[in-house]
Amino acid sequence: MSTNRLVDSMAPRTSETTLEVTNPYGVPVTLFANREVPIEVEALEQALGFVSVQRTIEELDAAQRAGQIRPFWGDRPGKLERVVLTPDFHRGSGIPVGTVALARGFVVPQAVGNDVCCGMRLLATDVTRAELDTHLDAIQPALREVFFQGKRQISMSPRQREALLRDGLWGLLETSADNAGDGLWRYYDPRAQEADLSRVHFQGVVPAKEAFGNPAMHPIKKMKRSEFPADAKLETGTRFAAKGADNGLDVVLQIEKIDGDTVETRWVHPLADKDLTYNLEVMAVTDPRPPPVPVAALKLEESEES
């Protein structure tokens, strides 16, 4: 079977810009790509392997309800509610690049990605498309080897790894001498990197304490003194927790100003200006390779020529 026919079977086109990836797990999977965007069968297979996490979720829920494992979920089991694949969709390390997942009640650490501080850059060149076209067959495999098949040769010392995680690209710049001249570090120019950082969004790092927003930028709400507990001591900077009217979740109010019976408060996220610590428990280790795609999911006849 030709690649195009296989792609059409795995991801039928629903519009000029979207395709729906069929799967036996009941998860809506939409790929955004027009007809000019090449689609890799290997990436589709890898996406199906990622979506199969929904089956694992259902198995955990069944085991919990049967009393075979201790309580794992809260009020309701987690769910992979939706997956969107962006136009740069291609095979990655375990999970395709360009995968966006809406997960309820659980996280998949691998889905966060391996390229900390990864970014994209637009470069202007005087090389024309016509000049490149004749060399694409040679260029593409070489680039794929460098970026996706372990040929980068970017050595990282323990000090560099810690600096990158703590301080982002600035940390990498400050420790770049650790592997100077080794592998791709031969082409690293610290002066150019420092100049680039002045133009990088957030200068290549978002501190954990800023992940939930700067409290100073959160909305202001004026309240009456009578809306607070009668015995509450109101002072500038004091925070109170209240139930949100829409979803019942806690809303944190920080007192900004008190003027007679009027209290000016700022709504802040409960986790604003805080660093987060996660405790993880490995429940199981499974084969990272995607399972075979069922024939029924591809809407193919088993006797059809391959």
The pLDDT profile of the chain, 306 residues, written as one tens digit per residue, is: 677 889 999 999 999 999 999 999 999 999 999 998 889 999 999 999 999 999 999 999 998 888 888 888 777 889 999 999 999 898 887 889 889 999 988 888 777 766 655 666 777 888 888 898 889 888 888 887 777 666 777 888 999 988 887 777 888 899 999 998 888 888 889 998 888 887 776 666 666 556 666 667 778 889 998 888 888 889 998 888 876 655 555 678 889 999 999 999 988 877 776 666 555 566 766 665 555 655 555 555 444 444
Strand order in the sheet with 262-268: 220-224, 262-268, 250-259, 239-243
Enter the pTM of the model.
Answer: 0.51
Q: What are phi and psi of 187, to 5 degrees?
A: -100, 5
- CATH 2.40.10.330 segments of the chain: 215-268
Tokens linked to 248: 């019942």
Q: What topology does CATH give the domain 215-268?
A: Thrombin, subunit H (2.40.10)
